[in-house]
């Protein structure tokens, strides 16, 4: 088999910008210094780049987790081009294949099974992917004129934004060199590697509370660097949810952008996985981990009884909730408070809450 050819454009881009970031940026900083305005603009550019990838490339176009107004899509297309992670078409096509074949050594474009270096950056340095230009899995995106426009003019957009925006910032602050180094070079390197961490570290470092059928992990530290993408184990089992961090305390600014966009008419059709499916997946994994640790047969039997009971209640509660949704659709909600379904719903809800408490106490007690 022939060795994959090196992609020199990518190799030089990643190498030269990294070298400049770790040499020229600190040298200039010690020699001349950067103003607070220089840092502020670089930080804003980094946020705009990062959220264009997470809210745009990823959750909007790759997973169709919500719909966005044309103005928001245009914003993501322009700042996403500045992030220099390829066009929306290329990025989305590869990411969809990643989810379809996650961890497969050959079919996953940035498979974690091939090691940290490969999944982080190595996959972009040589022509490993025979389907890199196969867009058969993104036919839906070819109907989006903004996606098509960005793909067609991707290189001019990359040059215009990565040179033009920092130059404009430098004219505003009065220091063009500082802007080119901070808002240009350092911002680009950080933007690249923060995104790359999801392909690499998020498949190595963290916990798997929802599924162990792939290497994806939840990691709150990575969420801080990746605008909320660090809850990767959740994402890989519930990829169409517009959220990655589902708890109110989870740091997921991408989720907040999408949510608040829906309040001002910029986003709509926000997709969420049901609470039942999420908690069922969590309890299934808790039971699996606990079963692997327990050696006492009696303790294991007790835990299994608790697991079966709470699983059955979750199932019944979900069925009742579905009936409630039907009532809503039939505009019979005015009868909800006095209906038998309402009574059953509330009874199961109370039972479920009590069983959840008993489950957590039983699991904790048996594992100590």
Give the model confidence (pLDDT) of 132-145 as tens digits. 999 999 999 999 99
Mean pLDDT of the chain: 88
**Res 59: pLDDT:** 98
Provide the residue count of the chain: 368
183 pLDDT higher than 70:
yes
Distance CA 288, CA 215 (A): 16
Contact (CB, 8 A) for 246 and 286: no
Average pLDDT over residues 54-78: 98
Contacts of 144 (CB under 8 A, 6+ apart): 61, 73
* Strand spans (E) along 10-163: 67-68
What local confidence, expressed as pLDDT, does residue 153 receive? 98
Q: b or e along 262-280 (b: 16 or more beta carbons within 10 Å of the residue's beta carbon)? A: beeebbeebeebeebebbb
Give 106 or 333, the one with higher predicted confidence.
106
CA–CA separation, 125 and 121 (whole Å):
7
| DSSP state for residue 273 in the 8-state scheme | -
Q: For the chain, how long is the longest CA-to-CA vector?
A: 76
Phi, psi angles (nearest 5°) of residue 186: -60, -45
Report the SS3 class of residue 68: strand
Distance, CA of 269 to CA of 256 (rounded, Å): 15
Pairing of strands 67-68, 267-268: antiparallel
Specify whether the CB–CB gap between 82 and 45 falls below 8 A: yes
Query: Residues near 46 by Cβ (< 8 Å), separated by ≥ 6?
Result: 187, 190, 191
Kindly tell me if the per-residue pLDDT of 196 is higher than 70: yes
User: Percent of the chain beyond pLDDT 90?
Assistant: 73
3-state helix, strand, coil in the chain (%, to 5): 70, 0, 25
Per the CB < 8 A criterion, the answer to whether 258 and 55 are in contact is yes
Residue 300 has pLDDT above 60, yes or no: no
SS3 6: strand
- The pTM (predicted TM-score) of the whole model is 0.86
Q: What is the dihedral of CA 164, 165, 168, 172, to 10 degrees?
A: -170
Q: Is the pLDDT of residue 328 over 80?
A: no
Residue 330 banded pLDDT, cuts 50, 70, 90 = low
């Amino acid at each position: 088999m022939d060795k994959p050819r090196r992609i020199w454009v990518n190799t030089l881009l990643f190498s030269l910008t990294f070298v400049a970031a770790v040499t020229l940026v600190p040298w200039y900083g010690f020699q001349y210094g950067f103003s607070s305005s220089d840092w502020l603009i670089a930080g804003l550019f980094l946020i705009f780049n990062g959220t264009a990838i997470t809210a745009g490339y990823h959750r909007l176009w790759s997973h169709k987790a919500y719909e966005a107004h044309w103005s928001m899509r245009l914003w993501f297309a322009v700042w996403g081009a500045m992030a220099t992670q390829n066009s929306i078409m290329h990025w989305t096509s590869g990411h969809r294949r990643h989810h379809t074949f996650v961890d497969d050594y050959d079919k996953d474009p940035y498979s974690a099974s091939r090691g940290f270096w490969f999944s982080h950056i190595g996959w972009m340095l040589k022509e490993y992917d025979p389907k890199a230009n196969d867009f058969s899995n993104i036919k839906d995106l070819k109907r989006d004129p903004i996606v098509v426009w960005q793909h067609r003019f991707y290189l001019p957009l990359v040059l215009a934004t990565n040179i033009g925006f920092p130059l404009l910032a430098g004219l505003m602050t009065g220091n063009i060199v500082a802007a080119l180094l901070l808002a240009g070079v350092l911002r680009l390197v950080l933007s690249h590697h923060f995104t790359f961490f999801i392909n690499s570290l998020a498949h190595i470092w963290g916990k798997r509370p929802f599924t162990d059928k792939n290497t994806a992990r939840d990691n709150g530290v990575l969420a801080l660097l990746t605008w909320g993408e660090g809850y990767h184990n959740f994402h890989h089992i519930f990829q169409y949810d517009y959220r990655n961090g589902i708890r109110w305390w989870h740091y997921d600014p991408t989720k907040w952008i999408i949510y608040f966009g829906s309040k001002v008419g910029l986003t709509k059709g926000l997709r969420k996985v049901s609470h039942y499916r999420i908690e069922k997946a969590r309890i299934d994994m808790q039971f699996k981990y606990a079963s692997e640790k327990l050696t006492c047969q009696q303790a294991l039997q007790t835990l299994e009884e608790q697991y079966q009971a709470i699983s059955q209640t979750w199932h019944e509660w979900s069925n009742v909730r579905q009936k409630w949704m039907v009532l809503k659709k039939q505009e019979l909600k005015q009868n909800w408070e006095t209906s038998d379904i309402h009574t059953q719903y509330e009874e199961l809800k109370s039972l479920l809450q009590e069983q959840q408490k008993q489950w957590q106490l039983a699991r904790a007690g048996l594992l100590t």
